[in-house]
C-alpha cells in the first residue's frame, strides 16, 4: 500500500493525477477509474476542499496503473508518527538555531558597543564606576558567547542523534 499527503488539491481528479502514473495517452475512463478507486479507499475525499494540507491519502492498487513516485510505502502504523516526530525535531532544531544566531548577533553588538573608544572615554570622564562595569560586561559577554557556542554544538549533536534514532526505529519496525 502507498500513501500520499494532501497538498492543495481542490479536486479528487487532481489528486489522482498526483497519485498515479498515467501514460500520455491515458483515456478518460482510466482516469475516472483511478479517481473512483481513490474515493473508495479514502471516503473522506468526498469533500477534499475542506481537508487540511498533510491529510494522509491511501493510494490503492488499481489494475493497469502504477502508483506515482511521490507515493510512499506505508510501512506500518507508526510511519506517520515517526515522520511527524522527525518533522517536529527539525522544526525545534531550526527554531533553536535561529534563536542562538540572534543571541550571537546581540552579543557581537554588545561587544562592539563596549569597545567603542568614544563610549569608554565618556564613561571614564562622566561615570568612572560605569566605566569599570564596561570591561566586566565585555568579559561576561565573551564567556556567554563561548558557552552558547558549546551549547549549539551539543544541541546539533543531540538533534542528529534523535533523527538517527528515529530512522533506526523506523527501519526496525518494518
- What would the 3-class secondary structure string for 68-134 be? CCCCEECCCCCHHHHHHHHHHHHHHHHHHHHHHHHHHHHHHHHHHHHCCHHHHHHHHHHCHHHHHHH
**How large is the average pLDDT for residues 37-46?**
88
28-38: pLDDT as tens digits: 888 898 889 98
CA 82/CA 147 separation, integer angstroms: 32
Of residues 60, 49, 54, the one with CA closest to residue 12? 49
| Distance separating alpha carbons of residues 82 and 86, to the nearest angstrom | 6
Burial 76-87 (b: 16+ CB within 10 A, else e): eeebeebeebee
Secondary element (H or E) of residue 173: none
Confidence of residue 2 (pLDDT cuts 50, 70, 90): confident
Judge whether residue 72 has pLDDT over 60: no
pTM surpassing 0.75? no
> What does the radius of gyration of the chain's CA atoms come to, in whole angstroms?
28
100-147 pLDDT tens trace: 999 999 999 999 999 999 999 999 999 988 888 988 999 999 999 999
Amino acid at each position: 500500500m502507498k500513501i500520499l499527503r494532501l497538498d492543495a488539491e481542490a479536486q479528487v481528479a487532481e489528486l489522482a493525477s498526483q497519485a498515479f502514473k498515467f501514460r500520455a495517452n491515458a483515456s478518460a475512463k482510466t482516469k475516472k477509474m483511478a479517481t473512483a478507486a481513490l474515493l473508495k479507499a479514502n471516503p473522506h475525499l468526498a469533500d477534499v476542499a475542506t481537508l487540511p494540507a498533510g491529510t494522509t491519502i491511501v493510494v490503492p492498487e488499481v489494475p493497469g496503473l502504477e502508483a506515482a513516485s511521490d507515493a510512499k510505502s506505508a510501512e506500518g502504523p507508526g510511519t506517520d508518527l515517526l515522520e511527524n516526530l522527525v518533522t517536529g525535531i527539525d522544526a525545534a532544531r531550526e527554531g533553536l538555531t535561529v534563536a542562538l544566531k540572534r543571541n550571537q548577533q546581540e552579543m557581537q553588538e554588545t561587544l562592539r558597543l563596549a569597545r567603542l573608544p568614544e563610549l569608554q572615554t565618556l564613561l571614564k570622564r562622566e561615570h568612572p564606576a560605569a566605566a569599570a562595569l564596561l570591561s566586566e560586561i565585555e568579559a561576561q559577554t565573551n564567556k556567554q558567547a563561548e558557552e552558547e557556542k558549546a551549547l549549539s554544538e551539543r544541541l546539533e549533536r543531540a538533534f542528529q542523534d534523535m533523527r538517527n534514532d528515529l530512522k533506526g526505529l523506523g527501519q526496525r519496525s518494518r
